[in-house]
Structure 1
Amino acid sequence: MGRHTFPAVLLLLVLSPLIPRSLGEIKSEKIVADPRSMILFEKFGFARGGGVTISVSEVTVFSSLAPPDPALLGFFLISEESLYQALYDAQQRGSNANPNPGANSDTIFCVLSSPYVRRLFTFRDLSPPPASSYNSTLPITAPDEYSLFFANCAAECQVTMSVHTKMYNVQPDGSRDYLSAGQSRLPSLYFSFSIVYIAFLGVWIYVCLVKNRRFTHRIHLLMGCLVLVRALYLICAAEDQHYIKATGTPHGWDVLFYLFQFLKGVLLFTVIVLIGTGWSFLKPFLQEREKKVLMVVIPLQVLANIASVVIGETGPFNQEWITWNQVFLLVDIICCCAIMFPIVWSIKTLRETSKTDGKAARNLAKLTLFRQFYIVVVGYLYFTRIVVFALKTIAAYKYRWVSVAAEEAASLTFYVFMFYMFRPTERNEYFAIDDEEEEAAQVALQAEEFEL
């Protein structure tokens, strides 16, 4: 076991709940001259009666030292609870092993011999060259969430091989379910939320184009596009997960999934920035600094979606998978921070204007509205980035769908609140102010200045 194995695998386990989606649970991977001592291929939640099929072919092993013992290379399954124990045991016992590269293999501790793992096969079980292949289906008798690893315990050894895996559970009717036990409800969950957003869009169209057409601004139309894209994204996500559930692959739905995922992210951040600047409500144009925010956020969203595609279409076996995860997280944090600046600028501008233009009530109403919006945006970003991740991490694998439901429920709540706050209406916080409210606002602003 290499000295960097333990932290690297721990990082994989930490980042694995962040995977936006995956290509499917039937996967074909090509490993080329890979020297890593541990390679994580997949995590999957098995119910009773599930199984894993693994096929390995075109296996070649290159070592700059003596030919390695084939028993030191192989595949194994392990639960997350046992993984920490096995890795720690390997780290401790490996550090006490003979460091001499030419030492006999018996002195090397390999995770494949650990009592905590379920060894599937080693390279000793491969067919003779030139085929050098192995194919087997193994039933899962103890339901749990297992990780499929390849272990390379041989020193200075590089492995090339083609790996084909299938992980599945068996439904009551005997058909295979290729979604993990904690994700099997996702197709119906996504579809249910898409219906809610379609109804939401219908209500928004009625409010904007029928009930209050005279008070509808361009921002309201853009908000309607956001709801439409969100509904289409959820429909594609539902179909994508349905096909993975039934067949193990998304059957092309992943293209539309990524398209609407990109449009959803760009439109959401754009709408928040435009509302935060008061565009279309308070002024018909954007200032240079606000344009710069959009010029930063939109390219970053493009980069985030490229990272999402790479993460989803490859998997943790890829050597750059951790790097792309880190890029995705960094870009997401930058975008979340960037969209807060326009709201803060608007609050600051309104506070300064309220002291000079003599329209205290109107400015106080705007100031209050933008403060509320700021708090809601911060709460939404905190919940979907921190709380949802915590749910993904701590929830039992059978209830992993709960984190998705919580994220979608939070998003729907945020949309409803934002759309209600900035709906088109004749009497809103921007324009309709009477004399009594003006006098009360003057007193409130004076009290606020005194407190500051």
Structure 2
Amino acid sequence: MDRLPYLIPLLISLLSALILPSMAEMKTLEISDDTRQIILFEKFGFSRAGTVNISLSGVSLAPPSPSDPAIDPSYLGFFLISDESLIQAAYDSQQNPDPNSYPDCVLMSPYVKNIFKFSELSPPVPDGAINRSFPVSHPDEYSLYFANCVSGSAVTMSVHTEMYNTRADGTRDFLSVGQSPVPSMYTFFAVAYSAFLGIWIYLTLFHNRLSSHKIHHLMAGLLLSKALYLVFAAEDLHYIRKTGTPHGWDVPFYLFQFLKGVLLFTVIVLIGTGWSFLKPFLQEREKKVIMVVIPLQIVANIASVVIGETGPFIKDWVTWNQVFLLIDIVCCCAVMFPIIWSIRSLRETSKTDGKAARNLMKLTLFRQFYIVVIGYLYFTRIVVYALKTITSYKYRWVSVAAEETVSLVFYLFMFYMFRPVERNQYFMIDDDEEAAAELALREEEFEL
């Protein structure tokens, strides 16, 4: 790696982009006295009719120290590189025995597609400017980078970038190739959740009104927030596709994204404790879990807003990604504790209260819920991330489809398990079931 020093920041920025890739669209930003060697601006999947437009103005350069000579502008510029080319460059740097055959600046590498160098600015630095359009004829997923190969030098500039594909009718599509089907998918799932909500309202307010509890109304709120989140997510992506900017109904989108996350974790915690439909109160430790999860979700949504509204070019973008992932992991772990506590409490109670069958059914139900929650969290956090990284850029929508499908299945399973019913299975127990349950609990205790 010492023969290609620029590969290290390239690989780091690429891995950071894979964590939570930002939405590709028009971007305008100000860079002031920035000394980074590599800045990742965007990652975009191009068709055969792709284009990158970059406009710079007010470009000025500051050498590492006042006594240093003037900076050669040919060592600064913008370029595109695909993941495959980056991997090939890293491989060749290890295999090639001749260190002199490789340049020490990424702009000189045969693996990159140079858009322009600062030596092409007109007028030249200082106060340099340029407006350059670069056609992408080879379809692939490319990352747009700015490179500063003069170590320690600082760059100031105003940057406007546009990355898009041109449709057959000549209109511009600002969504990456792999994201084009996503707005339609979000619309489909929004309709599915709306129908789900209608059925749930009928069950809780009309058909089984006497069997409904507070938790069932909270679950209705979760369905509503999920459906509205999908509606505004579809609208936001559609707006980006048409205009290149994400500023459609941003406030409702982030509001319902926040409500969806908070309500989902809260419902899992409350169901895991048996609140409302099994007991009317929460213990102190269970209250603490909720009071930890809700503030964490607030911070996670702030991180999500920063990630969505800016991009990988800001200096703290990687940090915000790490904050988001860390909080998500903590919340996923926190919601498991109330379920474990309920399972342990039911196991202990079954030995003393003389209602073996009822406790066995509760215990079985909570174990099933525990397994389903673990499966859901594992799939949406690990498997979906794996799909994003291993699938071709053309099929990046597959990870979205998989995540939303599994989420819908999880919601259906959870809501069915804890639906309001007139003849509650916990209380309709006969003598034969009681005797069989006592035997099953003794066998389980013996195994343990």
Residue 121 of structure 1: aligned partner: 116
8 Å contact kept, 1:60–1:159: yes
CA distance in 2 between partners of 1:21 and 1:219 (Å): 36
Q: Which residue of 1 aligns with 2:163?
A: 167
Structure 1 residues 327 and 414: alpha-carbon distance in aligned structure 2, compared to 1, 3 A threshold: same
Which residue, out of 351, 354, 367, partners 1:355? 351
CA positional deviation for 1:89: 5.7
Q: 1:35 to 1:85 in 2, by over 3 A?
A: farther
Q: SS of 2:48's equivalent?
A: coil
Q: Secondary structure at the match of 1:280?
A: coil
Equivalent position of 2:212 in the other structure: 216
One-letter code of the match for 1:14?
L
SS at 1:133's partner residue? Answer: strand
Give 1:107 shift: 10
Tell me by how many angstroms 1:96 deviates.
5.5
Q: What is the aligned partner in structure 2 of residue 296 from structure 1?
A: 292
Q: How does 1:117-266 map to 2 (within 5 A)?
A: 117-129=112-124, 131-266=127-262
Contact 1:58 1:160 survives alignment (8 Å): yes
Deviation at 1:399, TM superposition (A): 0.3
Confirm or deny that 1:28 pairs with 2:23: no
Match of 2:20 in 1: 19
Does the CA-based 8 Å contact 1:6-1:91 persist in structure 2? no
Residues 107 and 418 of structure 1: CA distance in aligned 2, closer, same or farther (over 3 Å): closer
Measure the CA separation in 1 of the matches of 2:328 and 2:278.
29
1:75 paired to 2:89: no
Report matched runs for 1:251-330 at 5 Å.
251-330=247-326
- Give 1:387's match in structure 2, choosing from 372, 383, 387: 383
> Following TM superposition, by how much is the alpha carbon of 1:4 offset from its aligned partner in structure 2, in angstroms?
7.3
Letter aligned with residue 56 of structure 2: V
Q: Tell me how far apart the structure 2 counterparts of residues 162 and 21 of structure 1 sit (CA, whole Å).
A: 20
* Alignment size in residue pairs: 443
Aligned 8 A contact 2:25 2:246 in 1? no
Instruction: Give the conservation status (yes or no) of the 8 Å contact 2:85–2:111.
Output: yes
State percent identity of aligned pairs: 67
Q: Quick check: 2:194–2:227 contact (8 Å CA) kept in 1?
A: yes
Alignment deviations for residues 22-77 of structure 1 (CA, whole Å, 9 cap, x no partner): 3x510012111111111110000001111111111111100022211111000001
> What amino acid is the match of 1:50?
G
Instruction: Please list, as runs of the form range in 1=range in 2, the aligned pairs for 1:31-46 lying within 5 A after superposition.
Output: 31-46=31-46
Cα separation, 2, equivalents of 1:222 and 1:29: 42
Runs of at least 5 residues in structure 1 that lack an aligned partner in the other structure: 98-105
Tell me how far 1:418 sits from its aligned partner: 0.1
1:90–1:109 Cα contact (<8 Å) kept: no
Contact 2:225-2:259 at 8 Å conserved across structures? yes
- Looking at structure 1, the residues matched to 91 and 162 of structure 2 have their Cα atoms a distance apart, in angstroms, of 29
How far apart, in 1, do the equivalents of 2:209 and 2:269 lie? 24
Superposed CA offset, 1:112-163 (max 9, x none)? 1111110000000001255410101111110000000111111321111111
Q: Is the 8 A contact 1:86 1:111 kept in 2?
A: no
| 3-state SS of 2:178 partner | coil
Inter-CA distance 88–320: structure 2 relative to 1 (3 Å threshold): farther
Q: Alpha-carbon deviations, 1:383-421, whole Å to 9, x = none? A: 000000000000000000000010000100000000000
Distance in 1 between residues matched to 2:258 and 2:26, nearest whole Å: 25
In structure 2, the residue matched to 1:62 is 62
Instruction: Give 1:164 deviation, angstroms.
Output: 0.5
TM-score (norm: length of structure 2): 0.95
C-alpha distance in 1 between matches for 2:293 and 2:109: 48
Cα offset, 1:434, TM superposition: 1.6
Question: Residue type matched to 1:345 in 2?
Answer: W
1:426 — aligned with what? 422
Residue aligned with 1:182, SS: helix
Any gaps of 5 or more consecutive residues in structure 2? none
For residue 439 of structure 2, the aligned residue among 416, 429, 443 is 443
**CA 1:90 to 1:148, structure 2 compared with 1: closer, same or farther past 3 Å?**
farther
2:106 match: 111
Greater Cα offset, 166-175 or 439-448: 166-175
Aligned counterpart, 1:100: none
Query: How far apart are the structure 1 equivalents of 2:252 and 2:94?
Result: 44
Q: Is residue 10 of structure 2 the alignment partner of residue 9 of structure 1?
A: yes
- Structure-2 change in CA distance of 1:351 and 1:413 (3 Å): same
Shift of 1:20: 6.5
Say whether the 8 Å CA contact 2:46–2:176 is kept in structure 1.
yes
Q: Deviations for 1:219-275, whole angstroms, at most 9, x for unmatched residues?
A: 000000000000000000000000001110123322221111111000000000000
Query: What is the rounded CA distance, in whole Å, between the counterparts of 1:185 and 1:107 in structure 2?
Result: 41
Q: List per-residue Cα deviations over 1:273-331 (Å, max 9, x = no partner).
A: 00000000111111000000001100000111111111111111111111111111110
How many angstroms does 1:90 deviate by?
6.9
**Deviations for 1:171-214, whole angstroms, at most 9, x for unmatched residues?**
22221100000001111110010000000001101111111111
Amino acid aligned to 1:17 = L
Q: Which digits, 9 at most, give the CA deviation of each residue in 1:330-380, with x for residues without a partner?
A: 100000000000000000000000000000000000000000000000000
* 1:430 match: secondary structure: coil
Q: Distance in 1 between matches of 2:104 and 2:11?
A: 20
Q: Which amino acid aligns with 2:416?
A: Y
Measure the CA separation in 2 of the matches of 1:175 and 1:328.
36
Instruction: Label 1:336 to 1:212 Cα distance change in 2 as closer, same or farther (>3 A).
Output: same
